[in-house]
Amino acid sequence: MQVFTVENIPLIKEGDDIASIICENTTIEDNDIVVIASTIVAKAEGRMFRLEDIIPGEKALTIASKHDLDARFVQAVLDRSKEVLVDYPIFLVETHNGHVCIKAGIDESNVDTGHLADLPSDPDESTARIGSAIEQITGKNISAILTDTNGRAFKIGQTGIAIGVYNIHPVKNWKGQKDLFGNILEITEEAIADEIAGAANLLMGEGDGGYPVVIIRGLELRSEESSIQEMYRSDREDIIKKGLRCLSK
């Protein structure tokens, strides 16, 4: 497996064609996995906004008062959430798309001062649009993964995770395969989309590197009809969410 950055990506602005920019700056091969930081997709899709344009409601004011947070920012998070799982001491929500993250993934790093970047509202759709455009331009069959930087429960430190996929199943099922000693694996599922996002994020970094696109070559994981929703536990199975709801009552 090879992992490398795409060089010379410019500062992305609204309306930019990310697929074309990627193809102008690198060579794509069959089965490549193109990993793209959500920040640049947000910029290209014009999903930037300013706090000045937001009027906070009562709930936002209450949550903001518990933190050192701007109530307008809290309102922006609420607008993008289907559920607040914890409002203090962390502000953890589930977005309309089913992604559980701090502050609905709204991000102010690597965006114009005074602006905030939203996650794409339908990350699978954004990933598929860019991925299929790359296939059109190059004539190659690829996969794509859209990433963001996320914290994890229980451990210090953030890592790159997948928030949208195109032509790759995000979870690999090992059920029925054998271990070294011939034992049949019963429940092991591997979050390969997050593992790939983590590998790519290692080259992206979080600062001024300017590497929002990483190519992974040499893995044969392409598979059509995939969705990030395959990774999200159903409400019924999600005991962590159930626990958090109990705590917040």
Residues at the interface with ligand GDP (CB under 6 A): 9, 11-12, 37-40, 43, 107, 109-110, 148-149, 204-206, 208-212
Q: CB of residue 168 vs ligand GDP: minimum separation in angstroms? A: 18
Q: CB of residue 205 vs ligand GDP: minimum separation in angstroms? A: 5
What is the distance between the alpha carbons of residues 35 and 91, in angstroms, rounded to a whole number? 27
Q: What value does the CA radius of gyration of the chain take, rounded to a whole number of Å? A: 19
Which partner in Mn ion, ligand GDP, none is near 49 (CB below 5 to 8 A by kind)?
none
Binding site for Mn ion (CB under 5 A): 39, 107, 109-110, 148-149, 206
Beta strands in the chain (DSSP E): 2-5, 33-37, 48-49, 81-86, 92-95, 100-102, 116-117, 143-150, 159-166, 172-173, 189-190, 213-217
Which partner in ligand GDP, Mn ion, none is near 208 (CB below 5 to 8 A by kind)?
ligand GDP
Q: CB of residue 206 vs Mn ion: minimum separation in angstroms? A: 5
Which partner in Mn ion, ligand GDP, none is near 138 (CB below 5 to 8 A by kind)?
none
- b vs e for 70-79, b when ≥16 Cβ sit within 10 Å of the residue's Cβ? ebbbbbbbbe
Closest CB to ligand GDP among residues 57, 209: 209
Q: CB of residue 183 vs Mn ion: minimum separation in angstroms? A: 38
Which partner in Mn ion, ligand GDP, none is near 225 (CB below 5 to 8 A by kind)?
none
116-117/143-150 β-pairing: unpaired
Which partner in Mn ion, ligand GDP, none is near 74 (CB below 5 to 8 A by kind)?
none
Q: CB of residue 211 vs ligand GDP: minimum separation in angstroms? A: 4
Cα distance between the two ends of the chain: 47
Contact 23, 215 (CB under 8 A): no
The values of phi and psi at residue 223, to 5°, are -160, 125
